[in-house]
Amino acid sequence: MSDILVVEDETVLARSIVAFLERRGFPARFAVDASSARAMFEEQIPRMVILDYKLNTDDGLELLRWMQQRDDRVQIVMMTGHGDVSVAVQAMKAGARDFLTKPASLASIAALASDLMLDDMGAGLDPVGVGRIIGRSSAANALRKHVKQLATAVLSGEPRPGVLIVGPPGSGKELIATALHESTPLSGTQVRVDCTLLDENATASLTEAVRAAESGTLLLCNVCQLERVAQASLLRLLDRSAAAPALIATANAHLSSNDFLPDLLFRLQVGWIDVPALSERTADILPIADFVARQLARAAGQSRPRWSSGARAKLLEYDWPGNVAELVNCIQRAMLMREADTIEATHIRPFSATIDPATDPVPTLRELELGAIRKALAQTGGNVSRAAEMLGITRDTLRYRMEKFELQRD
Ligand SMILES: Nc1ncnc2c1ncn2[C@@H]1O[C@H](COP(=O)(O)OP(=O)(O)OP(=O)(O)O)[C@@H](O)[C@H]1O
């Protein structure tokens, strides 16, 4: 097995993908239709195939199934139309390893190629700066770009204005705040304050935090919860500090001038980042899931986990109302549930679809018995003898129980 096969009917695009991959050290070839792709595949089995879903008159999914049958070790990446999640799901079910949405940037194709081809356990598992923002969606690319710009243009300016990061719960706001801090040239550290936890000693807590964050960044999580008195204290502390930290704040919604002192609001909202929900960046689901699973495997001294095609499809089909936090939690559970190296579809149980054994109501014995009798009668079309046989009791016992529960034969 060797190299990458690109199957793309637009010759110019195919050529530029191949040239780009080769410049990054991945030998690559291309085919512009299914029959030449089949011939090239037979001639030399590639390690990876980048396959366009729409190939003139040929069907990309059919070609994918054909390749999978020939050799299921080949890592196939399907290129689908923008927002076409159902095709991505079908491709996963047919055995694709991942997908890219068109138009895919050459950089994202190369990033995917290195993820899949460089299988070396542990590589890239401790990212810093914008590398922390895992994902191949255009939203993830835009976030990384925006973070880099704000880190130099805004946060490190003088006097130091702030950046507000807004997004739904669990979408990665705090992770982005850390990436932002690490991307600045500031010499100080990042100090985190959770505004929901500030009590009557808020001023003392803020005094300590501002001092510790001097020449660095002060991260105010859930800034909407910052009381007016604490806001005034914070402004005073910043004004008096010789090397005031830059402010980064996170919130689930944009700030209202009714709740904030204008001076703090202006200071905070110089730069801002909107973090989309995970359901709006489906292309990030598999890379984040794989990253988290690999990190957990490394911590437990295990080998790199594999994903069944059913598990990948299930991850893509779910809409993740709890965003990345819910995805991370689901992967942690999947890693505990799996028996071998592979994560199967049955191990993917998002929190909202999971029954908590601690609170799951226990049925009474009467409910269980009644349910079993009803089921047996339904499956036998009301035939008491056969239902009794199914239940492992005599016909007379079943009759007696049916009377007790006032059940009719049909
Ligand atoms: N792009 C990403 N790549 C990898 N991991 C991510 C990404 N985004 C978020 N995470 C992980 O998801 C989890 C939740 O992220 P984070 O705490 O930053 O979300 P949040 O929006 O600040 O949540 P909350 O609103 O509850 O404070 C963390 O474990 C974080 O490491």
Closest CA to 347 of 301, 386, 380, 315: 315
Listed range (35-49, 61-75, 136-150, 344-358) with the worst mean pLDDT:
344-358
Q: Which of 146, 324, 326 to mutate for ligand 1's pocket (most ligand atoms within 8 Å of CB)?
A: 324
With 70 as the cut, is the pLDDT of residue 115 above it? yes
Closest CA to 139 of 274, 272, 287, 281: 281
> Per-residue pLDDT tens for 338-365?
878 889 999 998 876 544 556 555 667 7
Looking at ligand 1, which residue's alpha carbon is closest to its atom 31?
175
Q: Is the beta carbon of 381 within 6 A of some atom in ligand 1?
A: no
Region of 227 please: left (phi>0), alpha (psi -120 to 50) or beta: beta
Q: Tell me, what's the pLDDT at 122? A: 45
Q: Where are the domains of the chain?
A: 1-119, 138-274, 365-404
Cα–Cα distances (Å) from 372 to 390, 395, 406, in that order, read 10, 15, 15
More confident site: 59 or 230 = 230
Binned at pLDDT 50, 70 and 90, residue 120 comes out as very low
Binned at pLDDT 50, 70 and 90, residue 102 comes out as confident
Q: Which of the listed ranges 24-28, 153-157, 219-223 does the model predict with the highest average pLDDT?
A: 219-223
Residue with tokens 């396959």: 51
Q: Is the beta carbon of 296 within 6 A of some atom in ligand 1?
A: no
Which overall architecture, per CATH, does domain 1-119 show? Answer: 3-Layer(aba) Sandwich (3.40)
Task: Note the CATH number of domain 365-404.
Answer: 1.10.10.60
Q: Is the beta carbon of 133 within 6 A of some atom in ligand 1?
A: yes
Cα(9)–Cα(30) distance, integer angstroms: 9
Binned at pLDDT 50, 70 and 90, residue 84 comes out as confident
Contact by Cβ (8 Å): 141, 127: no
Determine what percent of the chain is predicted with pLDDT higher than 90: 44
**Ligand 1 midpoint to CA 286 (Å):** 15
Cα(155)–Cα(245) distance, integer angstroms: 9
CATH of range 138-274; options 3.40.50.300, 2.130.10.10, 3.90.1150.10, 3.90.180.10: 3.40.50.300
Residue with tokens 């946060």: 155
> Per-residue pLDDT tens for 170-209?
999 999 999 999 999 888 999 999 999 998 889 999 999 9
With 60 as the cut, is the pLDDT of residue 379 above it? yes
Residue with tokens 């990042």: 190
With 50 as the cut, is the pLDDT of residue 121 above it? no
What is the ipTM score, two decimals? 0.99
**Ligand 1 midpoint to CA 323 (Å):** 8
Q: Tell me, what's the pLDDT at 181? A: 95
**Ligand 1 midpoint to CA 173 (Å):** 6
Q: Please give the average per-residue pLDDT across 150-174, as a whole number.
A: 88
Cα(41)–Cα(297) distance, integer angstroms: 33
β-pair type (54-55, 58-59):
antiparallel
What's the mean pLDDT when you consider all of the chain? 87
Domains 1-119 and 138-274 share a fold: yes
Looking at ligand 1, which residue's alpha carbon is closest to its atom 16?
172
Q: Which of 174, 252, 279 to mutate for ligand 1's pocket (most ligand atoms within 8 Å of CB)?
A: 174
Residue with tokens 């010759």: 11
Dihedral sign for Cα atoms in the order 280, 282, 284, 289: positive
**Ligand 1 midpoint to CA 62 (Å):** 37
> Per-residue pLDDT tens for 328-341?
999 999 998 887 88
With 90 as the cut, is the pLDDT of residue 275 above it? yes
Q: Tell me, what's the pLDDT at 136? A: 78
With 80 as the cut, is the pLDDT of residue 1 above it? no
